[in-house]
Amino acid sequence: MLVLGIETSCDETAAAVVEADAMPGVPVGRIRSNAIYAQLQEHRPFGGIVPEIAARAHLERIDGMVARALADAGVSFADLDGVAATAGPGLIGGVIVGVMTAKAIALAHDKPLIAVNHLEGHALTARLVEPVGFPFLLLLVSGGHCQLLAVEGVGRYVRLGTTIDDAVGEAFDKTAKLLGLGFPGGPAIERAARDGDAVAFDLPRPLWRKPGCDFSFSGLKTAVRLLAQRLPRGDVRAVANLAASFQRTIGDILVDRCAHAFGLFRQTCHPAGEGPLTLVVAGGVAANQHLRARLAELAAVHDARLVAPPPALCTDNAAMIAWAGIERLRLGLVDGLDAAPRPRWPLDPAARAVIGRTGVGAGVKV
C-alpha cells in the first residue's frame, strides 16, 4: 500500500510517500520520501507565523513539493493507492491549499481521498516508526495544542486533559521572543538552556499537584515576561539561566500532569493484566531532549515505556499524514471529494470544553 501525504496546516509545505502492508497490524511503515519546505525566512521578520503569508507560500510551493516527493520515492501518481491531506485543524488558508491539491490529484487519477486530522497524524506517528499497539497514552504537545489522550484505536480518542489557556509550544515561542532568542522558539530555548542554571529562577507551575490532567501556561509566561524585563541588557548568562529554568519548569508541569494521566488511563482504558503501558509523546515540543528525558524517567517509575518519534517526525511533516492515511485506508475510512477543510477539529468531539475550569477526570467522555 502506497499513499501520498500532503501537509499545509501551518508554516511547513510538505509532501511525502509512505509504504506499508495492506492489512492492519502492528508492523511499522516505510518512508519512501519526505519533502518539507519550512517557511522560516518568510515569517522570521515578524517573530511568528503570519497566516496570509503562510497561505501564499503554500500555494507557490505545493505543486513542486508533490513532484519532488514522487520523484524521490521513484513512483508516479498511477502507483499510489490513495492521497491523504491534512484537512484541519490549522490555519484555514493553508489547509484549503493542501485539501484542494489532494482533491485534484484524487479526481484526476481516480484515487481514494483521505482527509486527515492533523492531530491524528501526530498521534499515530509512533506506529510509523515502532511497533506500538492500542491502547496507549498520548501526550500531544505543539505550538497550537497541549493534550493528554487515551488512544483506543484509529479514530478513537478519549481526551483526559487539555490546556485551559495557552499551548506549551506557544509558551516556548513567546519566551524565546521575550529573551531575544529568535524564532522558532523551541529549539532556541533548548540551545540557550544548555549553558544555563536550571534552578537559578523559581518560576510558577500552574496546576502543579492539582487534581486532573489539564494544563495552564499563561501564568508562567507572565512570570517570564516580568523577569525578562528586569534582566540586565546583554547579560547572556542571565538569559541562559532563565531559559534553563523555564525549560525545567515546563518539564515539572508535564511530568506532573502525565503522572495523573497514568492513573486515569489505567482506570478507563488499560485494566490490570493487559500488558505494559506505553506513553507516546508527539508534536513539535516532543523534539526537546530535556523533556524526553524527564518523561522517560516518569515512564520508568510507572513501569511503562516511552515512545517518541525521531525529532524530524515530531515537527509538522507529510510522512505522518501519509501514515495516518494508510491507517485509515486499511480500515476502509475514505472521504468524498466534498470533504471540507476545518480550522478546528477536535480528536474527541465528545470531550467537554475546559475553558475556565479544571478538575478530576477533565475531558472524560459524557
* Amino acid in position 77: F
Tens-digit pLDDT profile for residues 288-347: 999 999 999 999 999 999 999 999 999 999 999 999 999 999 999 999 999 999 999 999
pLDDT band at 365 (very low <50, low <70, confident <90, very high): very low
Higher pLDDT, 269 or 241: 241
Residues 6+ apart with CB under 8 A from 132: 26, 126, 278, 280, 307
Average pLDDT over all residues of the chain: 92
Among residues 283, 205, 199, 305, which one has the least CA distance to residue 243? 199
Q: Which of the pair, 72 or 142, is modelled with greater confidence?
A: 72
Q: Is the pLDDT of residue 280 over 50?
A: yes
Weakest mean pLDDT among 73-82, 266-275, 304-313, 330-339: 266-275
pTM exceeding the 0.85 threshold for the entire prediction: yes
Strand partners, 12: 38
What does the domain layout of the chain look like in residue ranges? 2-128+312-330, 133-311
Q: What pLDDT shows up at residue 40?
A: 78
If one counts every other C-beta atom within 10 angstroms of the C-beta of residue 201, the result is 19
2-128+312-330 and 133-311 share one CATH topology? Answer: yes
Residue 107 has pLDDT above 60, yes or no: yes
Question: Which pLDDT score is estimated for 350?
Answer: 81
Q: How far apart are CA 33 and CA 129, in angstroms?
A: 14
Which of 115-119, 196-200, 356-360 is predicted least confidently?
Answer: 356-360
**Does residue 106 have a pLDDT over 70?**
yes
- pLDDT, tens digit, 9 for 90 and up, residues 23-49: 776 668 999 999 999 887 888 888 778
pLDDT of residue 352 exceeding 90: no
| pLDDT at position 16 | 98
> Residue 361 — very low, low, confident or very high, per pLDDT cuts 50/70/90?
very low
Q: Rounded to whole angstroms, how far apart are CA atoms 75 and 148?
A: 38
Which grid cell sits at 272?
490490570
Average confidence (pLDDT) over 168-195: 94
Which string of DSSP letters, residue by residue, matches 315-347?
SS-HHHHHHHHHHHHHTT--B-TTPPP-S---S
> In the CATH scheme, what is the code of domain 133-311?
3.30.420.40
- Give the angle 10-224-312 at the CA atoms, nearest 5°: 35
pLDDT digit string, tens, across residues 179-192: 999 888 999 999 99
CB of 89 closer than 8 Å to CB of 347: no
Give the pLDDT score at 189.
97
Instruction: Please state the rounded mean pLDDT for residues 223-247.
Output: 96
What number is the average pLDDT over the span 248-266?
Answer: 95
Q: Which fold has domain 2-128+312-330?
A: Nucleotidyltransferase; domain 5 (3.30.420)
User: Among candidates 263, 331, 347, which has minimal Cα distance to 298?
Assistant: 263
